[in-house]
Amino acid sequence: MNLYEKILNKEEKICVIGLGYVGMPIAVAFAKKVEVIGFDLNTQKIELYRSGVDPTNEIGNEAIKKANVEFTSNEEKIKEGKFHIVAVPTPINSDKTPDLAPVEGASTIIGRNLTAGSIVVYESTVYPGVTEDICIPILEKESGLKCGIDFKVGYSPERINPGDKINTLEKIIKIVSGIDEESLEEIAKVYELVIEAGVHRASSIKVAEAAKVVENSQRDINIAFMNELAMVFDRMHIDTNEVIDAMNTKWNALNFYPGLVGGHCIGVDPYYFIYEAEKLGYHSQIIASGRKINDGMAQYITTAIIKKLIAANKVVSHARVVVLGLTFKENTPDVRNSKVVDIIQGLREYGIEPYIVDSEVNAIEAKKQYGIELTDIKNISDSDCVVLAVAHEEYKLLTLENIDNLFGDFKNKEKVIIDIKGILDNKAVEEKGYSYWRL
């Protein structure tokens, strides 16, 4: 009997290492079919899951309560698993180089709890070669076992889109790979238990690693192109969104819009490619240029805010600015690598201490990660400038009257509205005489 059959018959367990925005949905999905152990070093997170609370909002509290997952921070429980899924973050350092500490740490923990006959599958985004050149040696060293003989390894890049309730885990085709044909088939069959869309068998682990980095780099480049157009159109006094709406009438137009590019994937993964390419003597041009443009958008928007405040006759250092939204994207509490934070820091350089509103975000998390105190929108008034930074559904539902209530008692032309995501009807706002700018 192979491992897949043993897992299906609940004779062996799946163990998910890392229970964040990626690992937790995977653990819950598999738990509907087989026995699952969910491991994370964060004891507070484990306690939340055990009490039926989903801090990620990816699947909701009810799904967590019903999930038949054994949540634990005790690494010895990993020994009870035979099919290990690694879903830890892979961030970048301050110098934009890959920070492999989390995936190396996870490999160390798994290695010292690895038993013969196991399969370890990495989902964390890495550059081609990390799984085989870095992770496998750690597993072998810590376990004393030999890869390919005593245990197998595969790679299956995560493709979860945080906050997306339509393109969920089960509905996204899963790329799978293994060190040999036997492991590839075992890994494919296990994932097919929960992936309704099916799996794509990559020819090698390096191909699967590269596919993940490339798909995010491609998106990053396309957004960078739109951001560059937006900056040029701003100088031409042309509305970028109107240009895009017109362009999108053609069947083969790519539906990309300008904006801030943060988060744990698109704003990070291209640097993994750039790093490995430079090690091989190739200096990226297109990908690096796209990153430079997107990383600079927060400064560009900050400058636009300051210009509009000056044009509205505001004393910049005394201006009351409220920022609606802190997360890296809409409808998620995820603040990792949020570029809104860069705007906040930019405003502080001008002597402005903005008020930050985001009901999606855990106030403790905002304070812990960025030292930012959140404010309830009900307590906002007398503002000089309102920045619509994130397109949360609740902000899309705001009327001009709702937004006007956030301002002080002065003429509309002195009320500055910065609409980064193009949420509002620009003509309606301008007809009311507000000082309005959108990316």
Q: What is the pLDDT of residue 336?
A: 87
The C-alpha atoms of residue 62 and residue 200 are separated, in whole angstroms, by 31
Q: Is 135 a catalytic residue?
A: no
Kindly report which listed range (52-61, 96-105, 339-348, 420-429) carries the lowest average pLDDT score.
52-61
- Domains in the chain with CATH codes: 3-203 (3.40.50.720), 226-438 (3.40.50.720)
Q: What is the pLDDT of residue 55?
A: 84
Q: Between the CA of residue 330 and those of 58, 170, 402, 409, what are the distances in Å? A: 13, 21, 20, 30
pLDDT tens digits for range 268-293: 889 999 999 999 999 999 999 999 99
The residue annotated as part of the active site, out of 15, 135, 147, 265, is 265
Kindly report which listed range (5-14, 97-106, 158-167) carries the lowest average pLDDT score.
158-167
Q: What is the pLDDT of residue 126?
A: 93
Q: What is the pLDDT of residue 419?
A: 95
pLDDT tens digits for range 44-94: 999 999 999 888 877 888 888 888 899 999 999 999 999 999 999 998 888
Q: Which two tokens stand for residue 286?
A: 């297109």
Give the chain's mean pLDDT. Answer: 93
Q: What is the CA radius of gyration of the chain?
A: 24
Span 395-414, average pLDDT:
92
AA letter at 166: I
Q: What is the pLDDT of residue 164?
A: 72
**Nearest by Cα to 344 from 301, 294, 403:** 301
Q: Does the pLDDT value for residue 165 go beyond 90?
A: no
pLDDT tens digits for range 213-270: 999 999 999 999 999 999 999 999 999 999 999 999 999 999 899 999 987 788 888 9
Span 162-191, average pLDDT:
90
The C-alpha atoms of residue 276 and residue 273 are separated, in whole angstroms, by 5
Q: What is the pLDDT of residue 94?
A: 85
Q: What is the pLDDT of residue 263?
A: 79
Instruction: Please report, rounded to a whole number, the percentage of residues in the chain having pLDDT higher than 70.
Output: 100
SS3 track for the chain: CCHHHHHHCCCCEEEEECCCCCHHHHHHHHHCCCCEEEECCCHHHHHHHHCCCCCCCCCCHHHHHHCCEEEECCHHHHHHEEEEEECCCCCECCCCCECCHHHHHHHHHHHCCCCCCCEEEECCCCCCCHHHHHHHHHHHHHHCCCECCCEEEEECCCCCCCCCCCCCHHHCCEEEEECCHHHHHHHHHHHCCCCCCCEEECCCHHHHHHHHHHHHHHHHHHHHHHHHHHHHHHHHCCCHHHHHHHHCCCCCCCCCCCCCCCCCCCCCHHHHHHHHHHHCCCCCCHHHHHHHHHHCHHHHHHHHHHHHHHHCCCCHHHCCEEEECCCCCCCCCCCCCCCHHHHHHHHHHCCCCCEEECCCCCHHHHHHHHCCCECCHHHCCCECEEEECCCCHHHHCCCHHHHHCCECCCCHHHCEEEECCCCCCHHHHHHCCCEEEEC
**Nearest by Cα to 327 from 263, 248, 258, 405:** 263
pTM of the entire structure? 0.90
Q: What is the pLDDT of residue 115?
A: 95
CB–CB of 147/179 below 8 Å? yes
Q: Between the CA of residue 340 and those of 50, 241, 391, what are the distances in Å? A: 32, 20, 12
Q: What is the pLDDT of residue 1?
A: 55
Burial of 62 (0-12, 13-18, 19+ CB in 10 A): exposed
Span 348-361, average pLDDT:
94
Span 95-101, average pLDDT:
91
